Structure 1
Amino acid sequence: MQSELSIRLNDEGYKNWIKAGFCLQKIRDCLLGFVCTEIEKFHQFLLSTNSFLRQRICNNFCKPQGTKVYMPRGQAKSRGPENCDAAALLNLINFCDQFEFVERQKVIQVIKCRNDLMHSVEMSVSAEWLHNYIQKILILLQEFQHIPEAKAANKMIQKIASSDWQVQITGTDAVDTALKFTDEEINAGEIFNVELELIREWMQELCLTLEEQEALLAQHLNSLNTFKEFLKQNKKLESVLYNELQQLYTLEKKLKSGMESVKDQDGGEGKPEEKEVP
């Protein structure tokens, strides 16, 4: 009997989506130390050039407050780059003058790909999309070749892109599942953790989008329904993501309730807008 994870990885589009998310994590991991060091330099520069800041007591909140302005939506509560995801880290590199040596267009291209990944309704991308995405990542990493971690990440990302992640079932228990990764083995738990982090980020993106809406749009309802159907087939994920799902369903209920109120005020007459739920 195949585990839920091995069944999911048999879907080529979904597997490509997970690979793309895995690569995002590799970018974050390889640049994190460097970015934290550079932010510390930036922080010291601000203190040395600003007499007002020098007169204030610098506490643990100083650096996070200084970098918060560069954080994308959903990251405002992050207490520093070490607690941010790949999107926030890339956003920081893109806008902060401390990283002016980086060609911004290369960062923007990867950010755009990341956004496409998070807005994929079915959590699926084509082999062609993944190939183009990997090339953009490798081009960006060339800007950081003076960092040993970036060189190592370059090799790992290329391995991820070329691997088929062959699934071998060694027992009836999902714990016994072995995932072949080129000539090495990656623990099934590691792949699941990558998958879980990516799905949580996808859900957060959807929640942020819904919070900005006054009514459910057809595309968002489609995303919700597709995701619900996906979780019906994957009970373990549904269980682990329980708290996030409650937040998502609360937003859905709130938006649907708002739409019903608007209809009642209009007397139930008139054709709804094309993109809104009928």
Structure 2
Amino acid sequence: MQSELSIRLNDGGYKNWIKAGLCLQKIRDCLHGFVRTEIEKFHQILLGTNPNLRQGICKNSCKSHGTKFQTACFVCREWKKEILKHHTDQNSTIYWGNCCPLLWPTNAWEVAKVYMPRGQANRQGPEKCDAAALLNLFIFCDHFHFERRKVIEVIRCRNDLMHSIEMSVSAEWFENYKRKILVLLKEFESIPEATAANKMIHEVTSSDWKVKMTVTDAVDATMRFTDEEIGVGEICNIELDLIKEWAEELSFALEEQEPLQQHLNSLNRFKEFLKQNKELETELHEELQQLFILEKRLNNGKDL
């Protein structure tokens, strides 16, 4: 098990993949407080702009699912209209199933989730979201005024990471990513928490970890920064979080079924990867079972 860990963490492309994911985690963490405050402001602006939004709550238990939301009551129709008014691209796919319309009048976060990619239904606050969800919010909600191009570039890099069959990126890709993520961080200079994140990301993108086997066959692994280091336990936690996010992305892709063969190839590669890394196979049992269920239903020709 220790040798598996050593082999993984000594692979250059895999280390770059983890370091790139860690940078996204740092961006997510520095934005929590800012996003929560701004969404509360946005909610109050909506309530103050449209008096119809103050007519109480949903009277018909209106429900949304996936990309579908058929409003049945006046209150929800008004909220939907106002939410769409502030959406920067109404022709894009909107995942109404992310939110509970019943809560729109009283819960600002349920409004925010309309502007995010799928999979946010059970995430009750910015601290529960990944970086992609928050960055998509910045793009699709016109309350935010970050430079759209810079945000989109980092989202594309994030998608490269989460769609990488090998969970590996080249040194050239990583250098390009580093440039884009540092450019984006300049957009967040007014957010106090972003200063510390900026420093950490500079250090992450220019650092390396050392992994060696001792005579007792134990792994000594650290990611060394200028004034601190991350031990093997934390590296493994970061790794596990990223792989879980990767597996969730694959689940969504399998449900979409396009392009199906490519996603099935990703699943087969993931299974091989876990066979070679038994401790991860144990940690990711729940995620793996969910993928197996999707694979079985697809092989049986059933709709998901």
- Quickly name the TM-score band, shorter chain normalised: 0.7 to 0.9
In the TM superposition, residue 78 of structure 1 has moved relative to its aligned partner by 2.4
Q: In 1, Cα distance between the equivalents of 2:202 and 2:254?
A: 35
Instruction: Return the letter of the residue paired with 2:36.
Output: C
Query: 1:24: which partner in 2?
Result: 24
CA RMSD of aligned residues (A): 2.3
Query: 2:176: which partner in 1?
Result: 132
Go from structure 1 to structure 2 and tell me whether the alpha carbon gap of 1:15 and 1:21 turns closer, same or farther (over 3 Å shift): same
Identify unmatched segments of 5+ residues in structure 2. 58-102
Q: In 1, Cα distance between the equivalents of 2:136 and 2:104?
A: 25
- Is residue 36 from structure 1 mapped to residue 81 from structure 2 by the alignment? no
Q: In 2, Cα distance between the equivalents of 1:166 and 1:194?
A: 16
Q: In 1, Cα distance between the equivalents of 2:104 and 2:21?
A: 35
- Is residue 245 from structure 1 mapped to residue 288 from structure 2 by the alignment? yes
Query: 1:75: which partner in 2?
Result: 120
Identify unmatched segments of 5+ residues in structure 1. 260-278
Deviation digits for residues 70-111 of structure 1, max 9, x if unmatched? 1101223322323211110111111111212x1101101111
- State the SS of the aligned residue for 1:202: helix
Whether contact under 8 Å (1:216, 1:255) holds in the other structure is no
Whether contact under 8 Å (1:165, 1:179) holds in the other structure is yes
Q: In 2, Cα distance between the equivalents of 1:12 and 1:253?
A: 34
1:255-274 alignment to 2 at 5 Å? 255-258=298-301
- State the SS of the aligned residue for 2:115: coil
Q: In 1, Cα distance between the equivalents of 2:299 and 2:55?
A: 52
Go from structure 1 to structure 2 and tell me whether the alpha carbon gap of 1:124 and 1:247 turns closer, same or farther (over 3 Å shift): same
- Is residue 91 from structure 1 mapped to residue 136 from structure 2 by the alignment? yes
Q: In 1, Cα distance between the equivalents of 2:215 and 2:30?
A: 35
Whether contact under 8 Å (2:16, 2:174) holds in the other structure is yes
Q: Please, what TM-score do these two structures have when normalized by structure 1? A: 0.85
Q: How many residues align?
A: 256
Whether contact under 8 Å (1:64, 1:79) holds in the other structure is yes
Whether contact under 8 Å (2:254, 2:264) holds in the other structure is no
Go from structure 1 to structure 2 and tell me whether the alpha carbon gap of 1:93 and 1:173 turns closer, same or farther (over 3 Å shift): farther
Deviation digits for residues 190-227 of structure 1, max 9, x if unmatched? 1111111111111111111111228941x223212211
Deviation digits for residues 9-49 of structure 1, max 9, x if unmatched? 11101111001110110110111111111111111111222
1:1-278 alignment to 2 at 5 Å? 2-56=2-56, 62-100=107-145, 102-169=146-213, 172=216, 177-183=220-226, 184-213=228-257, 216-217=260-261, 219-258=262-301
The percentage of counterpart residues that share the same residue type is: 68
Deviation digits for residues 102-128 of structure 1, max 9, x if unmatched? 110110111111111111011100011
Deviation digits for residues 146-165 of structure 1, max 9, x if unmatched? 12221211111111111111
Whether contact under 8 Å (1:106, 1:136) holds in the other structure is yes
Whether contact under 8 Å (2:104, 2:111) holds in the other structure is no
Go from structure 1 to structure 2 and tell me whether the alpha carbon gap of 1:180 and 1:66 turns closer, same or farther (over 3 Å shift): closer
Q: Please, what TM-score do these two structures have when normalized by structure 2? A: 0.78
